[in-house]
Amino acid sequence: MPPEGLQPIKLFYAYAHEDEHLHDELAKHLVLLQRQGFIESWYDRQILPGMEWKSEIEKQLTSARIIVLLISADFFFSDYCYSDEMGRALQQHELGEAWVLPVILRPVDWKKAPFAHLQCLPRDARPITTWSNQDEAFLSVAQGIRSLVDWLRTQPPPVKEQSKEEPSAEAPNTKERWLKEGNLLDDAGNYEGALVAFDFALRLDPHLSYAYLHKSLAFYSLKRFQEALDTCNQALRLDPSNAFAYITKGNLLNNMRRPEEALAACNEALRLDSYSAYTYSTIASALGLLGRFQETLGACDQALRLDPNHTAAHRVAGSALIRLQRHQEASRAIERALQLDPSDAQSYFNRGQVFLKFKYLFF
């Protein structure tokens, strides 16, 4: 049970009746949250006979703190779902009165929908009905909702729930507050919580390139590389002069095994700032992925001239030297990387390759 005095967070489902069976399945996966007293769910089948259904839905929607949109072609086809429920939900979201959470039930063209800027569930916004094991899809949604509920329970109630006569003693609802909160959560390794905080900042100011960039870094830490890349591109659209954003993009593209594009991103970073060791080590990684090992060493040398203690440059140089059969030099580079960062798993892997002379290396 939640701590004494904490009320359950009210959750509202907006869905087309054609998807009722999927709603019911999701409700089963959220029943533990409900039994533990953390959420109180409402959907339109709870309207009693004789009640004025439209006003009851509006009352429940207005009082909800989380509004779950169950997205499908039928949802878009329904005028009431699309215009009334979704329209009102997004209005509350923009005012900071509720948190809108789209859940993609079935394949449908939603990328240009009014909620497309919001983070969707399940993981990677993959429609639930396309999963080979739908329980795993519903689990992904349930885990996302639990993370949001856990985080919302630490936050002040929205303004609509506070007394108008008495000023709130809680922290102000400002973009600066949410940016700071996001950074603290990210530093603590709570990347899901950081994403939520940065989204709150973006609701208050949708032109915050900093928030998009740090969302990208949180996605990167979660290894959700496509979402990280999309968010990084949004940061660059807002601020095309941010060299660090181009470096971040280059690292993401390397992780996605797209080294040619990574090099293009790094060239933009160099155009803006030619004195960053991170840019050269990212270039070195891309060249390594392309098998251009001698050029990889040149880029590592550039990085190390700028920062002799740059771990990534020593690690990538070690990888390239192994490929060039220069094992003694490789060993020295790898040992230096491990001196600088004893937790660098890739360098431990490459150290093993010096002995095994195995072909696969990390770049």
Q: Where are the beta strands (DSSP E) in the chain?
A: 9-14, 39-42, 66-71, 99-104
- Mean pLDDT over each residue of the chain, to the nearest integer: 86
Residue that wins the pLDDT comparison between 175 and 73: 73
pTM of this prediction exceeds 0.85: no
Kindly give, in sequence order, each residue whose CB lies less than 8 Å from that of residue 63, ignoring residues fewer than 6 positions away: 10
Tell me: do 184 and 65 sit in the same domain: no
Domain count for the chain, please give it. 3
92 is a domain residue: yes
- Of the pLDDT bands very low, low, confident and very high (cuts 50, 70, 90), residue 346 is confident
Q: What is the pLDDT of residues 222-234, one digit of tens each?
A: 999 999 999 999 9
Q: Has residue 4 been placed in a domain?
A: no
d(CA 110, CA 126): 12
- The reported pLDDT for the residue numbered 357 is 64
CA distance 337 to 335: 5
Q: Are residues 20 and 149 in the same domain?
A: yes
Please check whether residues 40 and 132 belong to one and the same domain. yes
19 shares a domain with 137: yes
pLDDT at 5 over 60: no
Asked whether residue 176 falls in the same domain as residue 46, the answer is no
- Which one, of 67, 11, 69, lies nearest residue 37 by Cα? 11
Residue-level pLDDT at 156:
62
The last residue of one of the domains, among 158, 186, 214, is 158
Q: Is the dihedral of CA 358, 346, 225, 107 positive or negative?
A: positive
Same domain, 194 and 269: no
Label residue 356 by pLDDT band (50, 70, 90). low
Give residue 13's region: left, alpha or beta (phi > 0; psi -120 to 50).
beta
362, pLDDT greater than 70 = no
Domain membership of residue 320 as a residue range:
241-356
For residue 147, which of 116, 185, 179 has the smallest C-alpha distance?
185
Asked if 18 and 142 sit in the same domain, the reply is yes
State the pLDDT confidence band at 184, using cuts at 50, 70 and 90. confident
Residue at which a domain ends, from 125, 158, 191: 158
Between the CA of residue 313 and those of 90, 282, 297, 298, what are the distances in Å?
A: 46, 9, 9, 10
Of the CA atoms within 13 Å of residue 340, those in its CB half-sphere come to 17
Quick one: 253 and 325 in the same domain? yes
In a domain, 361, yes or no: no
Contacts of 91 (CB under 8 A, 6+ apart): none
Instruction: Looking at the structure, tell me whether residues 196 and 258 fall in a common domain.
Output: no
Mean pLDDT across 215-227: 94
Q: What is the pLDDT of residue 271?
A: 92
pLDDT at 47: 75
Confidence of residue 138 (pLDDT cuts 50, 70, 90): very high
H or E element that contains 243: helix 243-255
- Structure token digits, residue 335: 């040992």
Does 88 or 261 have the greater pLDDT score?
261
Q: How many CB atoms are closer than 10 A to CB 44?
A: 17
- Indicate if the pLDDT at residue 30 is higher than 90: yes
Q: Is 203 a residue whose pLDDT tops 60?
A: yes
For residue 96, give the CATH number of its domain.
3.40.50.10140
> Does some domain include residue 54?
yes
pLDDT digits (tens, 9 = 90+) for 238-281: 999 998 999 999 999 999 999 999 999 999 999 998 888 899 99
Name the residue with higher pLDDT: 49 or 43.
43
